[in-house]
Amino acid sequence: MPMNRRAFLTATATVTAAVCFAAPAAAQVFSFDTAAAYSAARRGVSMLVMRRGEVIFEDYPNEGGAARGWELASGTKSFTGVMCAAAIQDRLISSWDEPAADTLPEWRGDERRQITIRHLLSLTSGISGGPIARPPTYADAIAQRAEAAPGERFAYGPTPFQIFGEIIRRKTDGDPLDYLTRRILAPLDIHPTAWRRGADGMPHMPSGAGLTARHWARFGWFVQQGGEGSVDRTALRECFNGSRANPGYGLSFWLLRNGLVPPGRNAGIEIDTGLSERFGGISMAAGAGDQRLYLIPALDLVIARQASGILQALLRRNRGPQWSDAEFLRLALRSLDRQ
């Protein structure tokens, strides 16, 4: 009987994993079909697994396709952390703790002078996050006043990322997306299929990017590898340190650990801390409609998952089975968890 694409890729993953992972009692193996079925039943349009930079499994149900890009929603936010690490490498930004007011003189005469780049991208600046999925223009973003002291509380939303976009615009005297493309995306041969812009013509930094699953996973692998020498590795590592206000959110990346404060009640972010700890910690980029990019360094794995229904998710009108990160990861890693 001929072997279909999914079966071939699953078999390849099993053989590869059996060769490269050793366990005392038995070889460890990967099996992703059950996780793929779980994803497909929840509006999934792509699921792709990359190991050591190579695709070992991919599935495109519900009119998905390897060449089709899908909007990442808030999965877009995680590009900003990597942009900042690149800017630190390029000495455009001195460190994560550089005051935003060094670039924004409008902030030097009030309480915002204490806000750093770290505060902005950890969402602890004290500035309101603003309405979800409605990024302000860069000018409107930097006009916002602080409502709390920096570091005091976690406030999820698009505004801080738009402020960061304005900082990069001023640092480079150009379009922030041009900087991201030149420094990160183009060298990786990653080509967004879309990127929303605001009324000011500037790219939305918290949402609106569109990528194929393969390109999103490639970005994840680059991050997991510490920037592959093209960004400051130490700076990039800071993206995966939580804050006191939210131990489960780093610098534009979610950290699946105890203390995680989710973006909202219906975000689907449910953690299995035991599973995450067993595999050395799991991080992710996440967006409305259950867009997910999981980083699992201990297993050399990156998993990209995309789905339709972003608008319905934002309007809280999704019907059918609900998404759970904990359940999906239990299914994706179940064969290993039983070793």
Inter-axis angle of helices 159-172 and 78-89, nearest 10:
30
Residue 314 has pLDDT above 90, yes or no: no
Task: Please report which confidence band the pLDDT of residue 338 belongs to, taking 50, 70 and 90 as the band edges.
Answer: low
Q: pLDDT at position 334, please?
A: 87
pLDDT in tens, 19-35: 233 333 334 578 899 99
Residue 163 has pLDDT above 90, yes or no: yes
pLDDT in tens, 277-297: 999 999 999 999 999 999 999
Per-chain mean pLDDT for the chain: 89
pLDDT in tens, 195-208: 999 999 999 999 99
Task: Please report which confidence band the pLDDT of residue 86 belongs to, taking 50, 70 and 90 as the band edges.
Answer: very high
Task: Please report which confidence band the pLDDT of residue 317 belongs to, taking 50, 70 and 90 as the band edges.
Answer: low
pLDDT mean over 111-118: 97
Residue 147 has pLDDT above 90, yes or no: yes
Q: pLDDT at position 267, please?
A: 64
For the chain, what percent of residues have pLDDT higher than 90? 79
Class for the domain spanning 68-305: alpha beta
Q: pLDDT at position 315, please?
A: 64
For the chain, what percent of residues have pLDDT higher than 70? 88
Q: pLDDT at position 316, please?
A: 67
